[in-house]
Amino acid sequence: MKKILLVDDNKTMLIFMAKVLSKRGFDVITASDGMHALQVLEDRPDIQFVLSDWMMPEIDGIELCSRVKSADYGRYLFFMLLSGKDDKESIVSGINAGADDFVVKDTHVDELVARIQAGFRTLALHNEITTKNDALDNAYATMKKDLESAGELLKRLLPTEKTMSGVELSYVSIPSAQIGGDMLGYMNLDEEHVAIYLLDVAGHGVSSALLSFSVQQSIAVSSGHSSIVKTAIEEPPYYRVNQPHEVLKHLNEQYLSDDLNLLYFTMVYAVLNIKTGKMAFSSAGHPPLVWLHSLHGDAELIGQESFVVGAFDFVEYETSYIQLDPGDKVWMYSDGITEAEKGSEMFSEEGFRKTVVQLNEQPTTLQTELLVNRVRDWQQAEQFDDDVSVLVVEWKGNPEREQLCNMKLSTKVNAQFFK
């Protein structure tokens, strides 16, 4: 039954109106004044419809309406004002106080009931919308929690070790949303070769993150027939390390888009021989690498013109080679850092290259974080509009030679000690 709180300081009118409305099928609860009405509403949260007289002592209908229609009241009420006045000024005052409807006391009971029924239809619509909004809020909260969990999972896929035999590495990965489409990593392929990669999936959100996760898992398989980073052969060591362009070709075939899947990604994949310092790399629509030379302290952009991965089936990739000297560093990054904006100006690849040179005297393990903070200071904003990933690898020299030198030095020191 539809509940109405009827408020009137005139006891005769209160009894009469309650009787009339009860006969029309309404559950009528009465209050003798505004203060009493507020108490009833506090005790009866199930009441959503108020039919109140205007002229009452202490708290009149206008004041009562203002209170229950205030933003901090706590629940929505449909408020109908009853008045003996029928002038424009009275109607405007009632509406400004928040009243949903205004009825003159001598209105025919059929019209009054019809307008009350209309008020309950408005309430029903409001309650339905509120219920749906609550459901959406709950769904959003669940999705947010799931996205946060997914974001944490993706973070766990990032490398934890910052040093490997013959190399030192550092990286920063910052998604622009809860989960992003960037992914980076590195791993030992064997005793001589280290693979390093960075990819940037187009777009943001769940689909981009899932694709980056899938690609990372594809690269992580380093043995067996399903590996794309090695190929099994019949002679010892029974495998060969695949060239970077072969890895990109495998990925392009595996993740080729169709009418239902339009995702693609840019990527750079490199293989470093930690004994010789020779690095092979292949790029798929990705920003150029930055090669910092330790001997003279300058840096250059190196890259290739090529198509992204997953968009076209006719693409051929190529492998390029560079010879690193001990202390040389190679930087990889996503365009979220170089396309950071300050007004109409972008940080740019050249700005990235110059910053790499400026930071060269800092420890390698700190350089990526320092570089990202430089860009934040430059754009005068903490947040980035796109995912940001930056990775640097420094070749320390042949680890076996370094170990041999250390052994010779240790032998000499020991000989002097026991002389």
Distance (Å, rounded) from C-alpha 47 to C-alpha 76? Answer: 10
Question: Where residue 411 falls among pLDDT bands split at 50, 70, 90?
Answer: very low
In angstroms, the Cα distances linking 417 to 364, 408, 410, 413 are 35, 14, 10, 6
CATH code for the structural domain at 3-132? 3.40.50.2300
pTM: 0.70
Q: Exposed, middle or buried by CB within 10 Å (0-12, 13-18, 19+), for 258?
A: exposed
Collapsing DSSP states into helix, strand and coil, what is residue 227? coil
| CA–CA dist 43, 37 (Å, integer) | 10
**Look-up: residue for tokens 């550092």?**
170
Residues of the chain with CATH 3.60.40.10: 158-407
CB 293 within 8 A of CB 261: no
Encoded amino acid at 135, one letter: A
CATH level 3 topology of 158-407: Phosphatase 2c; domain 1 (3.60.40)
Tell me: the pLDDT tens digits for 252-310?
999 998 766 778 999 999 999 999 999 999 999 999 999 999 999 999 999 999 999 99
Mean predicted lDDT score pLDDT of the chain = 89
Q: Is 23 exposed, middle or buried (0-12, 13-18, 19+ CB in 10 A)?
A: exposed
Integer Cα distance of 403 and 103 in angstroms: 96
As given in the structure block, the two tokens for residue 297 are 């302290």
In three state form, how does the secondary structure of 95-152 look? HHCCCCEEEECCCCHHHHHHHHHHHHHHHHHHHHHHHHHHHHHHHHHHHHHHHHHHHH
Burial label for 38, CB within 10 Å (0-12, 13-18, 19+), is: middle
Whether residue 174 is predicted with pLDDT greater than 60 in this model: the reply is yes
Listed in order, the ranges of the chain carrying CATH 3.40.50.2300 are 3-132
Judged by average pLDDT, the poorest of 1-5, 201-205, 269-273, 304-308 is 201-205
Please tell me the predicted confidence (pLDDT) of residue 327: 97
Amino acid at residue number 138: N
Q: 172 and 256 in contact (C-beta within 8 Å)?
A: no
Cis peptide before 237, with omega less than 30 degrees from 0? yes
Mean pLDDT of 171-183: 87
